[in-house]
Chains A and B, each alone.
Chain A
Amino acid sequence: MSIGQTFLGLLESSPRHGYDLKRAYDERFGRTRPLPYGQVYATLSRLLKSGLVEVDSVEPGEGPERKRYAITEAGVTDVDRWLSHAEKPEPYLQSVLYTKVVLALLTDRPAADLLDTQTAEHLRLMRELTRRKDGGDLAEQLICDHALFHLEADLRWLELTAARLDELAREVRSHG
């Protein structure tokens, strides 16, 4: 996800301090992984440099965190462009999982067990997400659902691969 554009979006609603920005971000988008301060300021200085934000005011106090940032016209345009453009769907063509399966087959390791272990891990994570969803608000639920649907897609792939493992094994070995 582009942190820069997210910052711009947050700043568009109102100018904020760097610290506020981080908090708002964490609250809405970064639940599992809070944003490190370093990355916040690095990003802000990059945005400043490209003229997408400006320093709105500097409040008396110590440290850089007392600077208040606001979005510029160019920044608004950038957010516009970002939101109105479709994201490029990411085709996970070079999946780690696939690589693992092929390698397992090539080296005569039990590929089915590998898939099972992975399935179990996916399911475990899904269970956890479902439980979190249960207690959470709508935003939380939507985030969890997003992950759940992705995991489910992975699982389908795992299932399909498991079902076609013998076929795959023959093919892999004949090429080898």
Chain B
Amino acid sequence: MAIAGGRDGWTRALLAAVAMGIGVAALLIATAVPGALDSRQDRIDARRPASSGDIRAPGDAPAAANTLLMTELFDAAFRDQAVYAALVRAVGPDAPLPPGVTRLPQPGEVIVSPALRDLLASKDGDLFAPRLEGARIAGTIGPAGLAGPGELAYYLGTDKLTLDNDQAVTAFGDTNTAEFSPILALLIVVISVVLLLPIAVLIGTAVRFGGERRDRRLAALRLVGADERMTRRVAAGEALATALLSLAAGAVFFLLGRQVVPLFTLWDVSLNAGDLSPSPLLALAVALAVPALAVAVTMVAMRGVVVEPLGVTRRAGTTRRRLWWRLILPLAGLAALYPLFGDIRSSTVDNRYQIAAGAILLLFGAVALLPWVIDLVVRRIRGGAVPWQLAVRRLQQDSATSARMVNGVAVAVAGTIGLQMLFAGVEGDFRTDTGADTSRADIIAQSTNGDGRELPRRLRAVPGVTSVASILQTTAIKADKPELFTLVFVADCAGLAEALVLERCADGDVFVAKPSGNVLGPYYAAAPGDQILLGADKQLAWTVPAHLREVPGRSDPGGFNRGTGLFITPGAVDTSRFGPLEGWVSLRTDPADPDAIERVRNAAAAVDQRTFVYRLSRVDEANRFVNVRRGLYIGALVTLLLVGASLLVGLLEHLRERRRLLAILVAMGTRRGTLLWSVVWQTVVPVVLGLALAVGFGLTLGAVLLRLVTVPIAVNWAVVGLSVALAAAVMTVVTLLSLPPLWRLTRPDGLRAE
């Protein structure tokens, strides 16, 4: 009975099912993402060495056959993508295997992830291959050993690892997962609300697709003897059937979408299709909520019409919209959030649901108020040109339909603004100023192992590197007081200038820097005449010369102030006897050559695999925070696009319903421009009002959220402008997309389709 409405009924049901299906798929993805990220985190944890950080101390029991020496290179990266890189050496035959690896690479062999294998095979392979020291690819890492299918990862076999220097691993798997902070949890809750609410609104809107035609069909049913209750039951049945169809469509979309997921890598996160599986409980909730919502929305819509045997009368229009109940929702939202003011940071109770409920109620306030606002404004409008008159009259007649079209956008924009304010407010919690000065250098390379003398020489030869400053570092102890030690830096004048404020400097000079405050710990500042002992074994005696000058220190390009230390130019001492020196190199590269850093990494790896190479940036943002914010941006955009798509469907349906009228108006000689403009106005007016309301609610939400974290309320108008502009852009695109069909519908021969 439900679907038996002929071809038209099917079209309507399908249209609604597809639109709702998109929403269902979005909900399923939303329920699946936390799980997917969890399983990703599980895999990352699983490949961490158990009890990491165990470096054997001299005198420990000898390495057993079950030991694997391993060093993870945490700075490894290729372009903007992080690389999971580890150097391994099996001590014995029973060395543990990392997950996803079937056999350990021998020295000269490497096990790579499929994505890295593809990279190496591509034309960009030469930018990465040198880091593997020409090792033979001896196998690939299975999905179990990768964070995601797109991850670049390798285990490089090497005999350079030693029991004394490197981590000895006997098992894999570590559960030391970072917890979300209360503020991050708040952010995630609010983000979920902001992203999912428009989708709920979208589903609610989609349920009503083709409502007018449905009503007419119900009228026909009444003609053959159905009473009002029966028509209600039929309508509910239809809504239910459509909702079930939409669940099926949503599941299909979800499964299809899931297959596409492995093709993308966002911010180092790539997921396997299988990772993305909704938690059964949440999926069940979606499966129950969507039909319930569909039936409820239909019943509410039916309340507004009287279906009689010979037609449908609309009850709405005659009743003035009342304000008071529309205000209940946002006020209830505020009431839910008020007790939490200033309480979040220190909060130990789980108040996520309270926050979610408050935010949802507040945002739904915008939905509830919109028709009232449209009514209020449009009722007063008189006159104007013909397109304006047509649009305004249409809105006066039925503000609810237009409001429904804009609801999703309004909720999305309000939520985004509120969230952005919260983000701006708590940004300080997550951003730290690195103190880096990117005008002086853009890459830092640091040797951490072995001798660093070679590093600056090699890096200077790398194409794309325009300037190099380097400082070598070692330690010395005071000969007469061995418990005191000082850092000793060796560099030419250019190199020293990166760490010291030098007025003049010549080869042979020696400087000392002292921090302004108290000297902490065993550090001491050398004075002329002091005898200090240098070298790996602290056997080389050297007397601090009399021409030692004290100069102030300064931060190097990486933002690091070396503080107390002895700074020596090579002419003052024969450094060749100092033993291994740690090297620090700051580099400037050609900005037009973005791959220069890859060549720097290659060259650094050739010196030593464990050389740290990193790009300087002014601020360092906690990674998770960055991810969350990026996720929000993408989510907001996707939501807006979804809402835009539903808006387009709604608009097209409206046009389809008015096909005959449009054709007649064109036959009468109405300029097409007149009709186009009337459609444009008809969209623009609710959009403008909706956005105005959205800005108001967004600012309110933002202010409330900032009160939750006791941050002074500040409005970032640029963000407000951006959100509004984005929404306006989506609406513009939708309107533009509706114009070609309108153009087709307004061809004069449209009259034939009677």
Note whether A and B contact each other (Cβ less than 8 A).
no
B-side interface residues toward A, CB under 8 Å?
none
A-side interface residues toward B, CB under 8 Å?
none
